[in-house]
Amino acid sequence: MKRSCIVVLAIMTMFPGLGLSAFAAEYPTKPITLVIQYPPGGSTDLTARALANGARKYLGQPVICENKAGGGGTVGVAIVASKPADGYTIGIVTSSPTMAFHMGKLNFHPLNDLTPIMRWGNYLFGITVRSDSQFKTMQEVMQYIKQNPEKLSYGSPGVGTPPHLAMEELSMVANVKFTHIPAKGIAETNTALLGGHIDLISDSSGWAPLVDAGKFRLVAIWSEQRCERYPQVPTMKEIGYDVVARSHLGVIGPKGMPKPIVAKLADAFKKAMDDPEFKAVMKKFDMPSFYAGTEGYEKYLRTDFENMEKLVKKLGLDKQ
């Protein structure tokens, strides 16, 4: 038995591609861990879990979701980057690690230390207040903050996240100043707004159920155009501030994953996007599906890297 193992290892050493192909053909032979970089209950968590549930049918193994929140969505991605490139630990990624990298807050490179697998969606970002707030519109918010600098606080999913940088850009172009209260995710900011501990939320659509329940009021969205679900809500551009928040949703793995394993995962997650459960939860949060295969997603990530660098420098938040 020992002699056989030595022979196998010798063959893999001489022909590494052959060994990887053989293992990739059998992959996966055990459960796969999908790291979600935000806490349970938010739009990222619930949509990613639905995607994982759909993918397991095509992988033949469970896809176990683990929430690893912190660092504005960077802690979970850092964990994935540190794991073996065998396809058994993968993760969800957004634009947040790229923003954090340009701000000097990461110990890994969001392009060079990860393997892109596929892109599956986009966020809807917006600004909400409590339904009993004195502010009925975003115009009223802006009028108040101009007259009362730093007197309004807002929650976001963390420093360097798209909804945080959108507020920073708004503050710059409007010459106002809000007080930022970062959190680990939408569950924390929803609770803070409900309790009156903050005045606004700038975040992805984890606030949607509370807007629909009449507890929150959506006063603006950070998109290029109005969304179908809330057609009465204006974009920030319509209000007069040319600010848009963007972020992709994708699946990544550690650097150096074998191409056959990447292809198998990309195919499974692409098929999972047609799953009724996934479509339903994406609709619940008004998040558009957006598919890109491995090659297309890699090209997008490089473009996003450049765009985020320009934005961070524009806001004066780049590492010195």
- Is the CA virtual torsion 284, 287, 290, 291 positive or negative? negative
Write down the mean pLDDT value for the chain: 91
Task: Check: CB of residue 111 under 8 Å from CB of residue 84.
Answer: no
- DSSP string across 208-224: HHHHHTTSEEEEEE-SS
DSSP assignment letter at 178: P
Helices (H) and strands (E) in the chain, counts: 13, 11
Stretch 238-264: mean pLDDT: 96
Element (DSSP H or E) covering residue 30: none
Distance separating alpha carbons of residues 8 and 183, to the nearest angstrom: 50
> What is the pLDDT confidence band of residue 9, given thresholds at 50, 70 and 90?
very low
**Per-residue pLDDT tens digits for 42-64:** 999 999 999 999 999 999 999 99
Domains observed in the chain: 2-123+246-314 (3.40.190.150), 125-239 (3.40.190.10)
Query: Which range among 9-23, 54-68, 72-86, 261-275 shows the weakest confidence by mean pLDDT?
Result: 9-23
Q: How far is CA 19 from CA 43, 191, 256, in A?
A: 39, 51, 15
Among candidates 68, 95, 70, 73, which has minimal Cα distance to 83? Answer: 68
pLDDT of residue 21: 55
Distance separating alpha carbons of residues 126 and 220, to the nearest angstrom: 6
**Per-residue pLDDT tens digits for 135-194:** 999 999 999 999 999 999 999 999 889 999 999 999 999 999 999 999 988 899 999 999
**Per-residue pLDDT tens digits for 190-213:** 999 999 999 999 999 999 999 999
User: pLDDT > 90: what percent of the chain?
Assistant: 81
Q: How far is CA 30 from CA 60, 95, 231, 252, in A?
A: 9, 30, 45, 19
pLDDT of residue 53: 97
Find residue 289's DSSP bridge partners: 121
Residue 25 has pLDDT above 60, yes or no: yes
Stretch 65-87: mean pLDDT: 96
Task: Check: CB of residue 158 under 8 Å from CB of residue 183.
Answer: yes
Distance separating alpha carbons of residues 242 and 223, to the nearest angstrom: 10
Stretch 73-84: mean pLDDT: 96
**Per-residue pLDDT tens digits for 90-148:** 999 999 999 999 998 788 999 999 999 999 999 999 999 999 999 999 999 999 999 99
Residue 32 has pLDDT above 60, yes or no: yes
Distance separating alpha carbons of residues 54 and 123, to the nearest angstrom: 20
Residue 297 has pLDDT above 70, yes or no: yes
Task: Check: CB of residue 203 under 8 Å from CB of residue 189.
Answer: yes
Q: In 114-130, which positions are buried (b, 16+ CB within 10 angstroms) versus exposed (e)?
A: bbbbbbbbbbbbbbbbb
Q: Look at the block and give the residue holding tokens 């969001």.
A: 110
Q: Which amino acid is at 186?
A: I
Half-sphere exposure of 91 (CA within 13 A, CB side): 30
Distance separating alpha carbons of residues 273 and 120, to the nearest angstrom: 7
Q: Which two tokens stand for residue 41?
A: 């209950």
